[in-house]
Amino acid sequence: MRAAAPQAKTDTLLLNLSDLASVRGAAERIAATETIDLLFNNAGVMNLPTRLTTRDGFEMTVGTNHLGHFAFNAQVWPALRRSAGARVVTVSAIAARWPIGKLDDLMSENSYRGMSAYAKSKRANIVYTLELARRTAHTTVEAFVVHPGAAMTGLQQHGTGPLTRLFTPLAARLLMGSAIGAAWPSFYAATSPDVTSGEFIGPAGRDQTSGTPGPAKLPKGADDPELDARLWAESERLTGITFAT
């Protein structure tokens, strides 16, 4: 960033999304005086081989990928509202469409599979964003959810099975795009004048794994106002934070 815009002022704020106390401390530093014009909810973990929990007792994948972002967004809301036209861009994944991503047993207490927990967290990202768009329709804040397609990044580090080790290099060559290309939908959502709050955006190429950004297909049932409101209420209950838009 400094190389691209040497005149710009940059700052770094440490934040652990799997620890609500860390989220609160970071948010408090921002909410009191700063203005946020653009917020990317982009951090995540995937396919943890065993069920781990956050410091607050949540299943680690959903706790980090959804609840941590939810809590941070709720607590920096004053800084977003101070902007003349803020955008919140939340990064989901194609995995959100998988049947194993249904939001029942959100904390994977009945059974745990790494990719199922990941799919749940990514569907929660979509459901959260759609509800945020509804609740902020009276404000200048816009909410978008994107999926990056497929790209080889550090997220694949937990695929340790023999089939995964065999398939991943082949998939990387034949099916997956670059990490830079995977960022296009996020920047498109952040900057394009042709998008509408609540829109789901992803690569428009073959199987939506790479290509020029465009509208993406929502998981079945994700755009259900009743479901979306339930997840919002459950997120408030679990985090103990009221997200008043």
Neighbours of 192 (CB within 10 A): 13
Q: Please report, to the nearest 10 degrees, the dihedral formed by the alpha carbons of residues 82, 87, 88, 91 taken in order.
A: -160
Tell me the pairing of strands 213-215 and 200-203: antiparallel
Phi and psi, residue 177, nearest 5°: -90, -170
Question: Residue 90 pairs with which residues in a beta bridge?
Answer: 41, 145
**In the annotation, is 118 catalytic?**
yes
Catalytic residues: 118
